[in-house]
Structure formats: structure tokens, C-alpha cells
């Protein structure tokens, strides 16, 4: 029987303590009380802000008083899956077990996202034999369902100017940038009129696309179901008197749409042509996406005869505007050539009681470009006769090529492990984006042990990666 030891033991002991405390997102009372108690028992300055974020400060150990304060940060909440009520997360501890090199939970999420980050902070606070300068350990609330803690944190709560976020999921990778995001929603007027005699009604659909996350997967060259439908409908509108009866396409605002359907009516004489055109179009799309969308399928079915349809002029303006609407990558990063800097996703198009409602999301790691992307999207909507609104969203974190913390983290990793860490950025939101807005000039990096299957009952923690990250962290603390 193979047996893997849980090293560093202090970190795993702290993680075991955390797992006894309920900490479902938005229900963090018990874990807040636990952290307050933990800090006070150690005799350390422990402060909770009005949002529920907890900070525990520990002075430097002897001989390291000259070092600059380092903030260590994790989030205290966890995703609780399964969420069907079969496990009572508000009262039961998470039970863990070891499977080879991995730690898992019995039938639930493990909560190593971000409990293992919390455990490293607690281990440092509890230790009496680890050298370090002054540290501020920050535990934020409700990262997972709204970034509530980071959003509510006031300037001045953290006092350090160097921050290590311990919420990344691949050992050997150091994150230095994330995207900010906004959502832009448009409503097109949808005046209806009676359908003339002699029209046939069809449902046109596309399905089996890969979809994915509108940030992380936007560079994967996948097709957007809404865009595929809009393009075909526009082409057919040029050939015949095609009317739009209904449209229900796409899904969640942060997902690349996998399927969609539009109900159209065409003059009876055009019926065969419509079918032929769709077959030709499907062949084109299959060829265009022969690598990424092998399963794409179009369908044209006769539908119950419609009695009314959108007025042709309004429908045409709307479809042309949706055709011009930018979708996908808009700009690549100036600093990191593989990184998507700015993008937009056409998430859904739905006929509702008040008109045709279109949902899109924009992301960028550069604030001015995020605003420009959203304005560009609104321009296409407004030219098509829609009203469009962009929400406040959340800010991004722009890479600082002169980061001192990154230089130290990189040198340390190289020296300890004999290889270069990967320096990465993500095209999605992190708490660091909010910190960079509230604490201008804050120098940050993000890293952590390897996790797989996060946010699902498959969540697992790679045990050996914890010791590597821990050693890396301790080394950074004495070399900063």
C-alpha cells in the first residue's frame, strides 16, 4: 500500500480545521467567527470590516523587521456542490480522503478552492519557527458568487503594498493580470403585423456546438450559435421576403452559446430554395469549423403556421445590426502575445414581451479598452434601433511589467526548483482586479497548489504541489 504523507503538516492541520466550519458563499458567519477566534487566541491584531472580510496582522520575526509588509490573501467561502440538498453544507463538516497523490472529499466539493490558501495563511500566523517580515493575512467573503468581499473592501483596510493572492489552481504558474468585465443588454423594438397569405413557417436551429466560458474559452476558435443563425437569416433576407416570427437563441451571459433557434416564415414558393440554401450553408460552416466544431448540426422543420411576424423593416434593421455586432477576440495583449486582452460574447437573443432582448458580455484587462469595447457593441445596437445599457461590472488587473514581487517570485522559483515558472494572465475576473482599482500601485501576484475539478464534487487537491507552493511562499517572504 502506498502512503503519502501530508506535508507540510501544519498547513494540512489548518485545512482540516477549516473543513469543520461551514462556509457556503454568502453564509460565512461561522467561518468569520472561527477566523476571529483563531487570531485572538494567537494574540494577534484581528479586524473584521463591515463587509465581513477578516484581516489578521502578525509582526516580523526577530531579525526580519526591516522587510516590507506582505499581504497574503485568500477567500473564505466555498462552492457547495452537489447543491440538490443531498448534503447539508450548513451543518456538516467536509470529509476528506486520500487517493494516491490527491486529496478528495466524500461526495462533495473539497473546498481547497480556496481553503488551502486560507490554510497556508493560518499556518504562517500560527507558526513560531518560520522567518518572515510583517504580514497581513486577509480572508475575503463570497468570492464565488459575487466578489462581495473584494467589492465591499474599503481603501485602507489592507496597509501593505505587496499582495500575494493564493487562489490560483496550477502549481508552477504565476498570474499577473486578469480581465475586467461588463454586460451590455439591448432591447430591439418588435412591432408585429399579420403574416400575408401564402407564407410557410419553419423552425431553423443550430445545435451541438462546443460552447464554453465566454472568457477562458473565447480564444478557442469555437463557433457562436447566435452568429451562425444571424448570418444565414441575413443572407436569406436578401433573397426573399423572409419574416421573423420568433427567436430563442443562446443561454447564460458568460457562456459561448451552444445552440439556438429562430422561427421564420417565407413565401411558399421559396420553400425548396430555403432547404437547399441551408444545406449549402451547413457545408460551408462545417468546413470553416472543421477543427473545432465537428458536431455542428443545422435543422429546418415545418412549424405550426404563424399568424403574425415582425414588421419587415424592423426585422431587417435588427438582423443587419446583429450581423455587424462584434463577437469574439477584439484585441490581443501588448505585453503577452498569447493573451486575449479584449473580447465580446454575443450570449443570447430572445423575443420577450417588451421586444427582442440581446445579452452580451465584454472583457478586457485594460480599463479604457473595456469601455471602448462596450461602447462599440452599444453603437451596433443603437444603429439597429435598439436601446442598450452597459452595467457597472467589475474591474480588471493590468500586468505590471516592472513588478518587484513578480521578479522576486520568479527568481525564487528558479533557484528552488531549477526551472522557470509560467507567467500567465487570465481573460476572466479575479479579486485582484478589484484590489487594483481600490489600491492603486498595489504590487500583486497570484499562485497556488494544483487543483482539478473545482466547483464540482470531483474537486481534488494535488498533495505534493502544496509543499512546493509552501516552500516557494516562505522563500519569497524572506527575499522580498
Give the residue from 151, 190, 225, 166 showing the smallest Cα distance to 387: 190
Q: Are strands 260-267 and 192-194 parallel, antiparallel or unpaired?
A: unpaired
Of 262 and 461, the one with the shorter C-beta distance to Zn ion is 461
DSSP designation for 269 = G
**Cell digits for 116?**
488551502
Strand-pair category, 173-178 with 422-426? parallel
Identity of the residue, 117 or 250, whose beta carbon is nearer to Zn ion in the bound complex:
117
Could you give phi then psi for residue 178, rounded to 5 degrees?
-140, 170
Please name which of 379, 323, 373, 368 lies closest in space to residue 343, comparing C-alpha atoms.
Answer: 373
Which residue in 300, 308, 208, 221 sits closest to 262, CA to CA? 300
Residue 123 DSSP label: H
CB of 449 to Zn ion, least distance (A): 12
C-alpha 311/C-alpha 319 separation (Å) is 12
Q: Which of 358, 304, 365 is nearest to 329 (CA)?
A: 365
**79 versus 158: smaller Cβ distance to Zn ion:** 79
- The answer to whether the CB of 78 falls within 8 A of the CB of 21 is no
Catalytic residue among 28, 81, 121, 143: 143
Based on the residue annotation, tell me whether 143 is a catalytic residue of this protein.
yes
Q: CB of residue 335 vs Zn ion: minimum separation in angstroms?
A: 25
Closest approach of Zn ion to the CB of residue 75, in Å: 6
Q: Which of 460, 444, 443 is nearest to 452 (CA)?
A: 460
Closer of 148 and 321 to Zn ion (Cβ): 148
Which residues contribute to the site for Zn ion (CB under 5 A)?
A: 113-114, 167
> Looking at beta carbons only, is 114 or 246 nearer to Zn ion?
114
Cα 336 versus chain centre, distance: 20
Cβ atoms of 361 and 391 closer than 8 Å: no
| Closest by CA position to 153, among listed 24, 50, 47, 30 | 50
Query: How far, in Å, are 239, 246, 302, 340 from residue 305 at the CA level?
Result: 21, 12, 9, 45
Which three cell numbers, joined as nine digits, stand for 479?
Answer: 527575499
> Which is the catalytic residue, given 28, 77, 121, 437?
77
What is the nearest approach in angstroms of Zn ion to the Cβ of residue 147? 11
- What are the start-end ranges of the H helices in 270-385? 271-288, 312-324, 367-383
For the bound state, the minimum distance from the C-beta of residue 454 to Zn ion, rounded and expressed in Å, comes to 7
222: Cα separation from own chain's centroid: 18
**Is the preceding peptide bond at 114 cis, omega within 30 degrees of 0?**
yes
In the complex, the smallest distance separating the C-beta of residue 434 from Zn ion, rounded to whole angstroms, is: 14
Yes or no: say if 436 and 444 are a contact pair by the CB < 8 Å rule: yes
When the beta carbons of 121 and 167 are compared against Zn ion, the nearer one is 167
| Cell, residue 157 | 483596510
Q: How far is the CB of 142 from Zn ion (least distance, A)?
A: 11
Rounded to a whole number of angstroms, the minimum distance from the CB of residue 249 to Zn ion is 32
Closer to Zn ion by Cβ: residue 114 or 259? 114
Residues tagged active-site: 77, 143
Amino acid at each position: 500500500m502506498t502512503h503519502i504523507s501530508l506535508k507540510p503538516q501544519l498547513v494540512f492541520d489548518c485545512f482540516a480545521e477549516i473543513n469543520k466550519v461551514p462556509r457556503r458563499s454568502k453564509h460565512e458567519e461561522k467561518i468569520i467567527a472561527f477566523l476571529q477566534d483563531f487570531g485572538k487566541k494567537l494574540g494577534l491584531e484581528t479586524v473584521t470590516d463591515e463587509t465581513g472580510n477578516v484581516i489578521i496582522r502578525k509582526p516580523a520575526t526577530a531579525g526580519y523587521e526591516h522587510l516590507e509588509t506582505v499581504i497574503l490573501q485568500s477567500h473564505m467561502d466555498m462552492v457547495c456542490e452537489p447543491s440538490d440538498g443531498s448534503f447539508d453544507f450548513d451543518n456538516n463538516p467536509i470529509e476528506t480522503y486520500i487517493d494516491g497523490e490527491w486529496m478528495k472529499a466524500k461526495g462533495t466539493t473539497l473546498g481547497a478552492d480556496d481553503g488551502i490558501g486560507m490554510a497556508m495563511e493560518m499556518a504562517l500566523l500560527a507558526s513560531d519557527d518560520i522567518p518572515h517580515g510583517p504580514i497581513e493575512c486577509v480572508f475575503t467573503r463570497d468570492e464565488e458568487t459575487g466578489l462581495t468581499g473584494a467589492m465591499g473592501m474599503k481603501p485602507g483596510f489592507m496597509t501593505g503594498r505587496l499582495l500575494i493572492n493564493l487562489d490560483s489552481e496550477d502549481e508552477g504558474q504565476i498570474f499577473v493580470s486578469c480581465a475586467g468585465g461588463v454586460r451590455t443588454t439591448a432591447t430591439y423594438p418588435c412591432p408585429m403585423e399579420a403574416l400575408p397569405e401564402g407564407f410557410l413557417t419553419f423552425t431553423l436551429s443550430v445545435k451541438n456546438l462546443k460552447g464554453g466560458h465566454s472568457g477562458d474559452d473565447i480564444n478557442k476558435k469555437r463557433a457562436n450559435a447566435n452568429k451562425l443563425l444571424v448570418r444565414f437569416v441575413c443572407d436569406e433576407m436578401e433573397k426573399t421576403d423572409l419574416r421573423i416570427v420568433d427567436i430563442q437563441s443562446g443561454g447564460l451571459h458568460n457562456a459561448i452559446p451552444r445552440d439556438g433557434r429562430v422561427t421564420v416564415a417565407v413565401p411558399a414558393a421559396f420553400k425548396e430554395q430555403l432547404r437547399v440554401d441551408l444545406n449549402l450553408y451547413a457545408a460551408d460552416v462545417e468546413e470553416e469549423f472543421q477543427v473545432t466544431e465537428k458536431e455542428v448540426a443545422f435543422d429546418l422543420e415545418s412549424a405550426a403556421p404563424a399568424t403574425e411576424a415582425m414588421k419587415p423593416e424592423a426585422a431587417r434593421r435588427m438582423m443587419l445590426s446583429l450581423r455587424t455586432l462584434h463577437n469574439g477576440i477584439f484585441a490581443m495583449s501588448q505585453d503577452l502575445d498569447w493573451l486575449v486582452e479584449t473580447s465580446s460574447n454575443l450570449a443570447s437573443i430572445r423575443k420577450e414581451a417588451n421586444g427582442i432582448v440581446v445579452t452580451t458580455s465584454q472583457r478586457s484587462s485594460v480599463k479604457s479598452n473595456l469601455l471602448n469595447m462596450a461602447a462599440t457593441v452599444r453603437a451596433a445596437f443603437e444603429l439597429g434601433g435598439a436601446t442598450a445599457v452597459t452595467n457597472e461590472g467589475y474591474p480588471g488587473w493590468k500586468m505590471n511589467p516592472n513588478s518587484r514581487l513578480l521578479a522576486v517570485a520568479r527568481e525564487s522559483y528558479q533557484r528552488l526548483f531549477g526551472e522557470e515558472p509560467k507567467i500567465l494572465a487570465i481573460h476572466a475576473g479575479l479579486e485582484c482586479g478589484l484590489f487594483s482599482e481600490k489600491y492603486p500601485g498595489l504590487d500583486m501576484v497570484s499562485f497556488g497548489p494544483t487543483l482539478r475539478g473545482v466547483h464540482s464534487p470531483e474537486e481534488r487537491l494535488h498533495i505534493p504541489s502544496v509543499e512546493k507552493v509552501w516552500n516557494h511562499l516562505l522563500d519569497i517572504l524572506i527575499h522580498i
